[in-house]
Amino acid sequence: MGKPVWLYLVCAILAFWCTVSLVKAEDAYRYYTWTVTYGTASPLGFSQEVILINGQFPGPKLDLVTNDNVILNLINKLDEPFLLTWNGIKQRKNSWQDGVLGTNCPVPPNSNYTYKFQAKDQIGTYTYFASTLMHRAAGAFGALNIWQRSVISIPYPKPDGDFTFLIGDWYKYNHKTLQQKLDSGLTLPFPDGLLINGQTHSSFSGDQGKTYMFRISNIGLKTSFNFRIQNHKMKLIEVEGSHVVQNIYDSLDVHVGQSATVLVTLDQPAKDYYVVSSTRFTEQVLIATAVLHYTNSQTTVSGPLPAGPPNDTAWSLNQARSFRWNLTANAARPNPQGSFHYGHIPITKTFVLANSAPLINGKQRYAVNSVSYVNPDTPLKLADHFNIPGVFSLNSIQSTPSGGSPTYGVSVFETSLHDFIEIIFQNNENYLQTWHLDGYDFWPVGYGDGQWSQASRAQYNRDDALTRHTAQVYPSSWTAILVSLDNQGMWNLRSAVWEEQYLGQQLYLRVYNPTPSLANEYDMPTNVLLCGKAVGRHP
Ligand SMILES: *[C@@H]1O[C@H](CO)[C@@H](O)[C@H](O)[C@H]1NC(C)=O
Ligand SMILES: *[C@@H]1O[C@H](CO)[C@@H](O)[C@H](O)[C@H]1NC(C)=O
Ligand SMILES: *[C@@H]1O[C@H](CO)[C@@H](O)[C@H](O)[C@H]1NC(C)=O
């Protein structure tokens, strides 16, 4: 791909930016064509309709290197509009490619859209999944791994191999049936199973004495799980793009939408071992097992499954607090992670977001500060770009809980580029919530019981909280995050618990700068899809 003419013109003016930008010429381009279809699979022992990407369930694994440019043509052969979002990919200056309904028109049936984005300055285990309707319940998800560039040293020895564990709850119902339940005002039932890579019997082979990277992601709809391996310890190395202090764990809690990477050394007698994942904080415990096979093993798995931790949010909270940034390790660029002293930057704005589960017109909905989000037919990003009135307004939601009666709305918070904000997720419900922010990673600086107050700030970890893109909020508790708003665009902040997202627990952050500049935000892509009130506009 050649550089566009405008870039050279701008380069003549902005020498510094030019250097940065032309370096991109070295970054590889990777081309993909993905066709999305219906198919069948039998993950629970009977045939079900699933969504396939290039014939695969789960979808193909994307293995990228930091700063790779991805050109991915998505062809939709479903009977419904479809989009993929790249969970944790920051889409720097480029919310145009985020793949959620506030930024992109969905790809109509029998049509296609080519995503163009860069995996800029990121290393780690990520995922992608369908952001539309309940498609994610049918398997439209996959692994997205970003490996470090050869010039970057990472704080662990190169592993002898890597294994992907996409783990999630699963239903015997297809995605349309689940959607109908939600549309008619019901909640989802308890899941029917827990799957590892779309199966109940997967197997992973490694050589005795070698060390493997286990990439673990929760791609389920609503249930947290605990992950463990019979007789083996796990060394945590990376969480959603942060290199962390390398603590050793017997088991790890992973909440919906989250990912973690561990190293496991096959240092046990040659035999096969159970890999176990079990649901957390549920009345009925669903268990998924896989097999870790030593290539020199003659003995199949045996013995009791390794026991999980106590069914206790305090245990889980303690573990969350033990995840620390390794301040001296490199991130995706060769500078120490702790060189940015996040804990001492003045906060320009605080948002307190309280989730609730109101009935509106007799139907179950989910809300943030009393507003239950509904997707307008025109993506917010396009409405903003074309100045189309009547799609959203910037004062439709309060920045602290209003206590007003619940309403439908299109919630957008106005923030400025380079704000440094604090968001408190106040969970007044009695089950665990998980919140995800697109376009960013953030510091989860505090987790506490009951109601957050200004005094709660005294408990914040201002020194070595990790950065991540998805944070859990324990029942009747709060979680506080700090975010450096250095990425202009329209960004989705949502419950990662999918029925809550679908029924209104989401909103957008408009990170804005009144002076348009290509140094801050890319132009609308030339192949942009137009829909709603944007139909007929000229890109
Ligand atoms: C659809 O695919 C074609 C190539 O087959 C590509 O040229 C075109 O840009 C794609 N459409 C969109 C909207 O990206
Ligand atoms: C942090 O990273 C540095 C640099 O790679 C490494 O030497 C050190 O052992 C790591 N510290 C911990 C506690 O993991
Ligand atoms: C685990 O704890 C939750 C409350 O946090 C409870 O609802 C559930 O029934 C418990 N599960 C088991 C198996 O004891």
Are 404 and 292 found together in one domain? Answer: no
The response to whether residue 246 sits with its C-beta less than 6 Å from ligand 2 reads yes
| Cα distance between residue 100 and residue 104, in whole Å | 6
Are 370 and 424 found together in one domain? Answer: yes
- Calculate how far, in angstroms, residue 494's C-alpha sits from the geometric centre of ligand 3: 26
Q: Minimum-distance ligand to the CA of 475? A: 3
Between residues 5 and 69, which one has the greater pLDDT?
Answer: 69
CB neighbour list of residue 28: distance below 8 Å, 6 or more residues apart: 65, 68, 69
Model confidence at 17, pLDDT cuts 50, 70, 90, reads very low
Concatenated DSSP letters of 44-93: TSS-EEEEEETTBSSPPPEEEETT-EEEEEEEE-SSS-B-EEEET---TT
The confidence score (pLDDT) of residue 214 equals: 98
- For 472-495, the pLDDT digits (tens) are 999 999 999 999 999 999 999 999
The confidence score (pLDDT) of residue 12 equals: 44
- Calculate how far, in angstroms, residue 330's C-alpha sits from the geometric centre of ligand 2: 9
Q: Minimum-distance ligand to the CA of 315? A: 3
- Calculate how far, in angstroms, residue 319's C-alpha sits from the geometric centre of ligand 3: 18
- Calculate how far, in angstroms, residue 91's C-alpha sits from the geometric centre of ligand 1: 20
- For 405-435, the pLDDT digits (tens) are 999 999 999 999 999 999 999 999 899 999 9
- Calculate how far, in angstroms, residue 153's C-alpha sits from the geometric centre of ligand 2: 11
- Calculate how far, in angstroms, residue 365's C-alpha sits from the geometric centre of ligand 3: 24
Token duo for residue 530: 């137009």
Closest residue by CA, ligand 3 atom 13? 283
| Cα distance between residue 64 and residue 74, in whole Å | 18
- For 319-354, the pLDDT digits (tens) are 999 999 999 998 898 889 988 899 999 999 999 999
Are 410 and 455 found together in one domain? Answer: yes
Are 178 and 304 found together in one domain? Answer: yes
Residue 259 in contact with residue 127, Cβ under 8 Å? yes
Are 364 and 511 found together in one domain? Answer: yes
Closest residue by CA, ligand 1 atom 12? 113
Q: Tokens 């008619």 — which residue? A: 184
Has residue 25 got a pLDDT over 70?
no
Phi and psi, residue 530, nearest 5°: -115, 140
Closest residue by CA, ligand 2 atom 2? 329
Phi and psi, residue 10, nearest 5°: -65, -35
Return the best residue to mutate from 287, 311, 317, 477 for the ligand 3 pocket (most ligand atoms within 8 A of CB): 311
Token duo for residue 176: 């349309």
Q: Minimum-distance ligand to the CA of 328? A: 2
Return the best residue to mutate from 1, 104, 114, 524 for the ligand 1 pocket (most ligand atoms within 8 A of CB): 114
How many separate domains does the chain show?
A: 3
Return the best residue to mutate from 148, 238, 328, 335 for the ligand 2 pocket (most ligand atoms within 8 A of CB): 328
CB neighbour list of residue 506: distance below 8 Å, 6 or more residues apart: 368, 373, 411, 492, 493, 494, 495
The confidence score (pLDDT) of residue 210 equals: 98
Which sign, positive or negative, has the C-alpha torsion 375, 376, 382, 385?
A: negative
The confidence score (pLDDT) of residue 256 equals: 98
Closest residue by CA, ligand 1 atom 2? 112
471 part of a folded domain: yes
- Calculate how far, in angstroms, residue 107's C-alpha sits from the geometric centre of ligand 1: 11
Closest residue by CA, ligand 3 atom 12? 283
290 part of a folded domain: yes
535 part of a folded domain: no
Q: Minimum-distance ligand to the CA of 330? A: 2
Q: Which atom of ligand 3 is nearest to the CA of 283?
A: 9
| Cα distance between residue 247 and residue 67, in whole Å | 28
516 part of a folded domain: yes
Q: Which atom of ligand 3 is nearest to the CA of 475?
A: 5
| Cα distance between residue 243 and residue 87, in whole Å | 18
Has residue 95 got a pLDDT over 60?
yes
Closest residue by CA, ligand 3 atom 2? 281
Last residue of a domain, one of 259, 289, 322: 322
- Calculate how far, in angstroms, residue 328's C-alpha sits from the geometric centre of ligand 2: 6
327 part of a folded domain: no
294 part of a folded domain: yes
Are 140 and 283 found together in one domain? Answer: no
The confidence score (pLDDT) of residue 491 equals: 98
Are 379 and 317 found together in one domain? Answer: no
CB neighbour list of residue 147: distance below 8 Å, 6 or more residues apart: 63, 64, 65, 66, 123
394 part of a folded domain: yes
Token duo for residue 72: 């991915």
The response to whether residue 329 sits with its C-beta less than 6 Å from ligand 2 reads yes
Supply the range of the domain harboring residue 255. 162-322
Closest residue by CA, ligand 2 atom 9? 155
Closest residue by CA, ligand 2 atom 4? 329
Average confidence score pLDDT of the chain: 94
Q: What is the mean pLDDT of the segment spanning 169-195?
A: 97
Model confidence at 14, pLDDT cuts 50, 70, 90, reads very low
- For 365-410, the pLDDT digits (tens) are 999 999 999 999 999 999 999 999 999 999 889 999 988 899 999 9
Are 140 and 208 found together in one domain? Answer: no
Q: In what order do the strands lie in the sheet with 349-356?
A: 407-409, 371-373, 367-368, 349-356, 420-427, 477-484, 443-449
Last residue of a domain, one of 260, 292, 322: 322
Q: Is 440 helix (H, G, I), strand (E, B) or coil?
A: coil
Ligand 1 pocket, Cβ-based, cut-off 6 angstroms: 73, 112-114, 527, 529
Q: Which atom of ligand 1 is nearest to the CA of 112?
A: 1
538 part of a folded domain: no
- For 28-87, the pLDDT digits (tens) are 999 999 999 999 999 999 999 999 999 999 999 999 999 999 999 999 999 999 999 999
| Cα distance between residue 159 and residue 261, in whole Å | 12
Q: Is 108 helix (H, G, I), strand (E, B) or coil?
A: coil
Q: DSSP letter for 107, please.
A: B
Closest residue by CA, ligand 2 atom 7? 155
The confidence score (pLDDT) of residue 539 equals: 76
The confidence score (pLDDT) of residue 395 equals: 82
CB neighbour list of residue 404: distance below 8 Å, 6 or more residues apart: 370
Return the best residue to mutate from 527, 528, 529, 531 for the ligand 1 pocket (most ligand atoms within 8 A of CB): 527
| Cα distance between residue 493 and residue 460, in whole Å | 22
The confidence score (pLDDT) of residue 381 equals: 98
Are 56 and 195 found together in one domain? Answer: no
Q: Which atom of ligand 2 is nearest to the CA of 156?
A: 5
Q: Which atom of ligand 2 is nearest to the CA of 155?
A: 5
Burial class (CB in 10 A: 0-12, 13-18, 19+), 314: exposed
The confidence score (pLDDT) of residue 9 equals: 44
pTM equals: 0.95
Q: What is the mean pLDDT of the segment spanning 239-252?
A: 98
Token duo for residue 272: 């096969």
The confidence score (pLDDT) of residue 46 equals: 97
Model confidence at 146, pLDDT cuts 50, 70, 90, reads very high
Model confidence at 5, pLDDT cuts 50, 70, 90, reads very low
Ligand 3 pocket, Cβ-based, cut-off 6 angstroms: 281, 283, 285, 311
The confidence score (pLDDT) of residue 21 equals: 44
CB atoms within 10 A of CB 249: 17
Residue 452 in contact with residue 426, Cβ under 8 Å? yes
- Calculate how far, in angstroms, residue 272's C-alpha sits from the geometric centre of ligand 2: 32
CATH number of the structural domain spanning residue 80:
2.60.40.420
Are 298 and 387 found together in one domain? Answer: no
Are 414 and 476 found together in one domain? Answer: yes
Are 42 and 136 found together in one domain? Answer: yes
Q: Which atom of ligand 2 is nearest to the CA of 244?
A: 14
- Calculate how far, in angstroms, residue 113's C-alpha sits from the geometric centre of ligand 1: 6
Last residue of a domain, one of 90, 113, 147: 147
The confidence score (pLDDT) of residue 403 equals: 84
